Structure 1
Amino acid sequence: MTTTETPVGHLLRDWRKRRGISQLELASRAEVSTRHLSFVETGRSRPTPTMIVNLCERLDVPLRERNTMLLAGGFAPAYSEHRLDATPMAAVSEAITQILRAHQPFPAVVVDRQWEMVDANESIGTLIADVDPGLLEPPVNVLRLSLHPDGLAPRILNLGEWRAHLLHRLEQEIAGSGDQGLAELLDELRGYPGGAGEQHDPRGIIVPMQFRSALGDLSLLSVTTVFGTPRDVTVAELAIESFYPADAETAALLRS
């Protein structure tokens, strides 16, 4: 663990502004005085660890950044961070294994905060067959694998629409987390070819991925699953991306 050189008050102010919340509104949510909150942000008052966590909860700050703010305030991190194969994570790891197994014969993949593949079921092979082996060298970034010209992109029949959907989703995640690594990934993905006619239509109910596989043309809906009320950084940053058939033909092909 290393401390940050940015004062905790400045970090809190930055998150408040990122969320578009006034001092008055945040103070009301956190049940503190506006004057005290102002003093905290300017460094005139040192917040307690309880107050830092309280403000972070009201601002929906990710657990990793909450630990950063506690360190900046001179306090120990409040949230653990374990490897998925660590003993305390046994129940989480088993739950992920069961979800992936139960989702067969439909593809599913587990990703972390940076969209790097943590685990996947066997059916994911239907999507990643024939991609450049270099893109499958760990760590495998799922978004890069999807949109890279040597990845899935040449076989995504609605590439412009699907690409716009993924980029819009990534933009939202960056706005919510302020993650610089994701911002760099977004710049990289925007540089890939295949964006002709891409647009994000907010009126659409859901965007399926139309994919040409060795089994035939597939239409797949993506569903994201996250753990509720996580208290560990690793768990908070995990997501399971599950693909479901969008039509009867796709379901029959995958079950075959």
Structure 2
Amino acid sequence: MTLLMNRPQDAFGPLLKSWRTRRRLSQLDLALDAGLSQRHLSFLETGRSKPSRYAIRQICEALDMPAAERDIMLMSAGFAPQSAHASWSDDVRDAVTTSIAHVLKGHEPFPAVSIDRIWNLQQANASAERFFAIAGATGDPNLLREIFSPGPLRSNIGNWPEVARALLRLLDLEVARRPHDDAAKALLDDLKDLPGVAAAIADRPKAHPAPVLSIHFTIEGAELRLFSLIATVGMSMDATLDDVRLETLLPADEATRRWFADLSP
């Protein structure tokens, strides 16, 4: 993960006001939720008072901010980010990595991957490696670029415009969730500039969307239907762990289920 920014140390007040506005809270509402006085909160926004680490923690919890954004708030007030104090031991890091690998392996014979917040590939089970190789993936470490870039994989997705709109919506939500994530914003802009993406965005379906988006692949003459489940690490207070996403692809029909069963060695 690249944690953005060397924020100037006088940026806390504007950041606080920005987040409060995003959450549609008055100063009084936020002060009550954070256990602070409205006067103190007002002074923090205007820069008349400097926040303590305790006050920042209370405010971030009241605003339900992602871990990386909490780090940015701390840095904007001149403090070291929380994640810098949460250095992992080798045992803990190995346990997390092993646990993720266990979940991915347990999903076989269907594809499953571990990705970061902007879909950079971290781990993949054997089924995902085999499937994406057959489907025409080029090996780009970013799965969104892989799917959006013209090429065999994109051509093998029969409902690619629908998939592209759904994935862009997910990335849009990630940008909204972490408004200071320059890497996510840059990726979103790059994807929108790729051939065919603007037309896909403009082509709004007239029918009511299905409750779950299925991805329609045509692989070596087989028609496959998959849908995706994305999980995150619950209750994470660390920016690195907060980035982790587990995406599992599941068969949407019996023919797809049998195809993957046959693909398994």
TM (normalized to structure 1)? Answer: 0.88
Instruction: State how far apart, in whole Å, the 2-side matches of 1:40 and 1:202 are.
Output: 47
Q: Hey, what's the Cα distance between the residues in 2 that align with 1:249 and 1:161?
A: 22
Counterpart position of 2:225: 219
Confirm or deny: 8 A CA contact 1:85 1:93 kept in the other structure.
no
Q: Within 5 Å, which residues of 2 pair with 1:191-206?
A: 191-194=193-196, 195-196=199-200, 198-199=203-204, 203-206=209-212
Residue 173 (structure 1) shift: 1.2
1:166-245 equivalences under 5 Å are 166-178=167-179, 179-194=181-196, 195-196=199-200, 198-199=203-204, 203-214=209-220, 216-245=222-251
Secondary structure at the aligned position of 1:219 is classed as strand
Q: Tell me, in whole angstroms, the C-alpha distance in 1 between the residues paired with 2:260 and 2:87.
A: 33
- What secondary structure does 2:83 align onto? coil
Distance in 2 separating the partners of 1:13 and 1:151:
47
- Quote the sequence identity (%): 35
Check the 8 A contact 1:83/1:234 in 2, yes or no: no
Structure 1 residue corresponding to 2:99, chosen from 95, 99, 109: 95
Q: What is the CA deviation profile of residues 57-81 of structure 1, one whole-angstrom value per residue up to 9, with x for unaligned ones?
A: 2222221221222122222322248
Pick from 77, 88, 91 the counterpart of residue 73 of structure 1. 77
Off by >4 Å, runs of 4+ in structure 1: 80-86, 200-203
Q: Please give the secondary structure, in 2, of the residue aligned with 1:193.
A: coil
For the 8 Å contact 2:113–2:248, the answer to whether it is kept is: yes
Cα-Cα RMSD: 2.5
In structure 1, runs of 5+ residues without a counterpart are none
What does 1:111-190 correspond to in 2, within 5 Å?
111-124=115-128, 125-129=130-134, 131=136, 133=138, 136-137=139-140, 140-150=141-151, 152-178=153-179, 179-190=181-192
Q: Could you tell which deviates more after superposition, 238-247 or 150-159?
A: 150-159
SS of corresponding position for 1:109: strand
Report the more deviating stretch, 149-158 or 98-107: 149-158
Structure 2 length normalisation: TM-score?
0.86
**Is the contact between residue 109 and residue 121 of structure 1 (CA under 8 Å) also seen in structure 2?**
yes
**1:48 matched to 2:49:** no
**Cα pair distance change 1:202/1:228, threshold 3 Å:** farther
Ranges in structure 2 where 5+ consecutive residues have no aligned partner? none
Equivalent pairs, count: 252
The one-letter amino acid paired with 2:224 is L
Residue 174 to residue 70, structure 1, CA distance change in 2 (3 Å): same
Question: Does 2:253 match 1:247?
Answer: yes
Counterpart of 2:65 in 1: which secondary structure? coil
* Contact kept in structure 1, 2:216 and 2:225, CA below 8 Å: yes
1:86: Cα distance to partner?
4.2
Partner SS, residue 218 of structure 1: strand
For the structure 1 residues 84 and 53, does the alpha-carbon distance in structure 2 shift closer, same or farther, using more than 3 Å as the test?
closer
SS at the partner of 1:24? helix
TM-aligned CA distance change 1:49 to 1:84, over 3 Å = closer
CA contact (8 A) 1:80 1:233 kept: no
Deviation of residue 222 (structure 1)?
Answer: 0.4
Higher mean C-alpha deviation, range 12-21 or range 44-53:
12-21
Question: What's the offset of the Cα at 1:99?
Answer: 0.5
What secondary structure is seen at the aligned counterpart in 1 of 2:17?
helix
Q: Aligned partners of 1:26 and 1:103: how far apart in 2?
A: 42
Determine if contact 2:117/2:174 at 8 Å carries over to the other structure. Answer: no
1:57 partner amino acid: E
Q: Are the counterparts in 1 of residues 225 and 252 from structure 2 also a CA contact under 8 Å?
A: yes
Residue 129 of structure 1 aligns with an amino acid whose one-letter code is I
Secondary structure in 2 matching 1:129: helix
Distance 1:231 1:202, change over 3 A: farther
